[in-house]
Chain A
Amino acid sequence: MTNKDALLYTKEHEWLSIDGDVATVGITEYAADKLGDVVYVDLPKVGSQTVYMKICGEIESTKSVGELYAPVNGEVVEINDAVTNSPELINQDALGAGWLIKIRFTELPQLLSHAEYAALTDEG
């Protein structure tokens, strides 16, 4: 199990796991659940630049299209080919095997803690 408290989050339902100057990015279980079965993932190319809160990819389910917002300024250093080939990994393990991209960043913007993110998605 992923320790959700060790992750950072955005309002756009991405999670980040920070290791030095590289952030591993995925979408949250909440977002995966809302989308339904993911059938197609469009990720940015390795080497491309990301701009904070600009769309850098798409996650499509049968019913809808979810956008991937870059959670940091930086450069894409790796993409998860496994998830491109098997998009269902996002539904099966959104916080683990369903990770999407790794971005090398220069500085971290203000991000949400798990408690702050959970409050945001708590529908009562």
Chain B
Amino acid sequence: MNDAGLKTPLYDEHVALGAAFTDFGGWQMPVRYSSDLAEHAAIREAAGVFDISHMAEFFIDGPDAAAYLDHSLVGMASEIADGRAKYSLICNELGQVLDDLIVYRFSTDSYLIISNAGNRHAVANALFAGTEGFEVRVEDASDRLSLIAIQGPKAVEILADLTDAPLGSLKYYSIYSSTVAGKNAFFARTGYTGEDGFELLVNNEDAVGVWRALLAQGADRGLVAAGYAARDTLRLEAGMPLYGHEMTIDTTPFEAGFARVVRLDHEFVGSKALAAIAEHQPAKRLVGLVGEGKRAARADYELFESETSEQSIGIITSGALSPTLGYPVAMAYVQSEFSEPETEIWVDVRGSRQIMRVVSLPFYKRAK
């Protein structure tokens, strides 16, 4: 095994469970424990836990916290209700997206941001650089905190056995402070799988205890530890973007379909540039594609108008044979004229072309 790369406090747990590892944003993360299809299915049908401790966490505190975040992010953090959360983006002055993130509000003067591991330093630099003129304190807490996601239809009932938190009354995109397995934790009702569940933010020294408690409590109800292969197919089916694939420094929020989170009615870092970009319709758009058969259309495969045309009209950003649906699904950027649902286009799969059809995202939606 390659020992290079950062390790989370749960690394030895993954080794003990027989995980194979992969590099993810500079971190050694479990790609699968035994079978990625079984782990994927467990989360759709029962529950699973992911170690997502590599993600970055920032606490923002002070009387100007809300105004500071309104200035730092594309949305209005000041309008989030106490105990609730919102998906947002952080941009540079050019309007380029540095990362997508979730901002959680405890109170008007206290917030939490959870962002991607690979963009930790870009986000940290942007957040720290923006504090001038605001009475606010930003803490990069990534090195002292671990994050464990429990996802799936049975996640809540399993978690309920380990906490007194009023899980039933915690809404989607909310956050609550309580204890789990006797350890202090923030409970965020968010996730990256398209299923119900929580993300539990705990101190590093408590991570192993919480991880083991969840596995033990959920074992007889089908809960398994799940790796990044399953995480990727789950989020793809749920139509959720992955920074570096659906969103990069070179894509705009409008192309990516996130116009609704960009509040151009207020000033923020990048707002002038984004307002100018918003005056024109995007030349390309992020779409969902579904195919036939069993051959997946994967990231970086090129798209064409016909079976024989030579001019590329787009590129796949993520794609797999959907484990839940049984047919190929993909997200892709296509020239806007090809972005209407039901449009048929062709993908080049290693030299042979297959037809795909534009659909609305997500591919999979859980039954309520």
Contact = CB atoms under 8 A, between A and B. Distances in A.
Interface of A: 33-34, 36-37, 39-40, 42, 58, 60-63, 65, 88, 91, 123
A63 B31 contact: yes
B229 A36 contact: yes
B15 to A, nearest CB: 14
Contact of B36 (A40, A60, A62, A123): A62
11 contacts: A36-B229, A37-B35, A37-B36, A39-B37, A39-B296, A39-B323, A63-B229, A63-B232, A63-B320, A88-B37, A123-B1
How many of chain B's residues touch chain A, expressed as a range? 20 to 34
B54 interface: no
A33 B36 CA distance: 11
Contact of A40 (B38, B229, B321, B323): B321
B323 A62 contact: yes
B350 interface: yes
Interface of B: 1, 20, 31-32, 35-38, 40, 229, 232-233, 294-296, 298, 320-321, 323, 350
Q: Which of B38, B40, B233, B321 has the most CB of A within 10 A?
A: B321
Contacts of A40: 294-296, 321
Contacts of A39: 37, 294, 296, 321, 323
A45 B294 CA distance: 18
B295 A33 contact: no
A60 B296 contact: yes
Contact of A91 (B35, B229, B232): B35
A40 B326 CA distance: 11
A33 B20 CA distance: 9
A39 B31 CA distance: 17
Contact of B320 (A34, A42, A62, A91): A62
Nearest to A39: B321
Given A36-B31, A37-B36, A65 B321 contact: no
A88 B294 CA distance: 13
B37 A37 contact: yes
A36 B36 contact: yes
Given A36-B229, A63-B31, 6 more contacts: A36-B32, A39-B294, A40-B321, A42-B295, A62-B233, A63-B232
